[in-house]
């Protein structure tokens, strides 16, 4: 019979998202085949599978919940707004307020998606010239998270300069500040204009630093291992977002399949996103979680690397060809360290204390296996399979 305890810290102030948001987004599994029932099923599954007990809390609806102007589609056609300018949902979402209330009653939070342009990526109604109406509407529904996707805004400004890139996000920030509700504000514009350098300035709580991620090694590794330049700009309340987790059953709607990432690649995916303090948004069908995926998403020692209150994003501390070591300082003074093998064959990867800014003996704990490996001096090395990783935490020997 074991015991586990820790100090609970309450932080009160104007800054929200003090740790990276954790939740689920509908796009990578359902795409435009989303409806109210699938949202309810995802919320129920988040509770039933116990994800809620490990910090997962947002249920986010992506594109395709609105109507389409000039469309004869019986589901999405018809007027897109009422006589007061308030946006209307399509027939797949007959009562957004009731749906949000149901999600809240499960102890979860609700997120939504829209574009600053006249149309969304999928040509549904956007916020253009109705930004305050939409902010007020989201508050009325009880929304907790807004993904604001540049997409259709490209028809307004085709070759934007830096100030034009900022403008729609500044304006929606002003609108959100006028409503009486805390809403996590996620800027989705794919890293244009080095958004990590000014995302905080325009009031973002997180911002995409990349294009969309498919479930391939090339995409995931290409995104994850290119994030060192963004590291200085992450801090509590403001996070670099590498897009959603492509684990479990995905498909972009309506047909689902297993992720194309191998198990080792999924360990690398999760380890790297946690080290990078990225928002963690599950992209798979939560009603079909297998044991491997559930374990991947509920290892508290791994999730703690992502949720550490210091909010320090990992940096690449060494690289030898396709072998890399990334490390981040934790609030308690320990270091979370990822040893990665991007090569095509097994390799030994070594983390040197000199690269990590450490001296003397260090107690090493394997976070995926939740096992102490012993005390090491000067370095730690591990044999790592193709596209795999080892995620460890280093403590001074007398640390608890």
Q: Are strands 249-250 and 239-241 parallel, antiparallel or unpaired?
A: unpaired
191-204 burial by CB neighbour count: b if 16+ within 10 A, else e?
Answer: beeebbebbbebbb
Q: Is 149 a catalytic residue?
A: yes
**Torsion (CA) 184, 336, 290, 282 in degrees, nearest 10:** 20
Residues 213 and 246 sit within 8 Å (Cβ to Cβ): yes
Question: Is 157 exposed, middle or buried (CB count within 10 Å of its CB: 0-12, 13-18, 19+)?
Answer: middle
Query: Which residue has tokens 């991007």?
Result: 342
- The secondary element (H helix, E strand) that includes residue 219 is helix 217-224
**H and E: helices and strands count for the chain:** 10, 18
For helices 263-275 and 300-307, angle between their N-to-C axes, nearest 10 degrees: 40
Of 303, 249, 297, 286, the C-alpha closest to 103 is 286
319-339 burial by CB neighbour count: b if 16+ within 10 A, else e?
Answer: eeebbbbbbbbbeeebbbbbb
Residues 204 and 185 sit within 8 Å (Cβ to Cβ): yes
Query: Whole-angstrom Cα distance, residue 147 to residue 130?
Result: 16
Omega of the bond prior to 254 within 30 degrees of 0, cis?
A: yes
Instruction: Out of 134, 149, 241, 308, pick the active-site residue.
Output: 149
Query: Whole-angstrom Cα distance, residue 25 to residue 12?
Result: 28
For helices 96-105 and 131-141, angle between their N-to-C axes, nearest 10 degrees: 50
Q: Does residue 273 sit in helix, strand or coil?
A: helix
Instruction: Out of 182, 212, 258, 355, pick the active-site residue.
Output: 212
Query: Whole-angstrom Cα distance, residue 217 to residue 32?
Result: 25
Q: What are the angstrom distances between the C-alpha of 192 and each of 118, 151, 154, 184, 230?
A: 20, 12, 12, 20, 13
Active site residues: 149, 212
């Amino acid at each position: 019979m074991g015991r586990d305890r820790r100090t609970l810290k309450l932080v009160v102030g104007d800054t929200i998202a003090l740790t990276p948001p954790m939740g689920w987004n509908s796009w990578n599994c359902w795409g435009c085949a989303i409806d109210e029932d699938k949202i309810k099923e995802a919320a129920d599954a988040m509770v039933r599978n116990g994800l809620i007990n490990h910090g997962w809390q947002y249920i986010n609806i992506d594109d395709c919940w609105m109507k389409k102007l000039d469309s004869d589609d019986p589901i999405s056609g018809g007027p897109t707004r009422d006589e007061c300018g308030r946006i209307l949902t399509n027939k797949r979402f007959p009562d957004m307020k009731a749906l949000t209330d149901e999600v809240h009653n499960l102890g979860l939070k609700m997120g939504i998606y829209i574009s600053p342009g006249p149309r969304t990526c999928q040509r549904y109604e956007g916020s253009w010239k109705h930004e305050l109406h939409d902010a007020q509407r989201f508050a009325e529904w009880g929304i907790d998270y807004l993904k604001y996707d540049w997409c259709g805004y490209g028809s307004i400004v085709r070759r934007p300069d830096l100030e034009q890139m900022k403008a729609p996000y500044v304006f929606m920030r002003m609108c959100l500040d006028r409503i009486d509700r805390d809403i996590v504000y996620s800027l989705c514009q794919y890293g244009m204009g080095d958004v990590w350098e000014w995302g905080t300035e325009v009031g973002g709580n997180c911002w995409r630093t990349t294009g969309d991620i498919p479930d391939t090694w090339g995409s995931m590794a290409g995104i994850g291992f290119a994030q060192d330049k963004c590291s200085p700009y992450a801090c509590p309340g403001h996070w670099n977002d590498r897009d959603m987790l492509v684990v479990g059953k995905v498909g972009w709607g309506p047909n689902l399949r297993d992720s194309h990432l191998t198990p080792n690649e999924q360990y690398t995916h999760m380890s790297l996103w946690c080290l990078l303090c990225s928002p963690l948004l599950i992209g798979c069908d939560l009603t079909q979680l297998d044991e491997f995926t559930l374990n991947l998403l509920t290892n508290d020692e791994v999730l703690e690397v992502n949720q550490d209150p210091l909010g320090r994003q990992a940096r690449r501390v060494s690289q030898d060809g396709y072998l890399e070591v990334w490390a981040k300082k934790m609030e308690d003074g320990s270091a979370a360290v990822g040893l990665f093998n991007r090569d095509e064959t097994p390799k030994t990867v070594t983390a040197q204390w000199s690269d990590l800014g450490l001296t003397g003996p260090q107690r090493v704990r394997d976070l995926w296996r939740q096992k102490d490996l012993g005390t090491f001096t000067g370095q730690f090395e591990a044999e790592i399979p193709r596209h795999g990783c080892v995620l460890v935490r280093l403590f001074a020997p007398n640390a608890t």
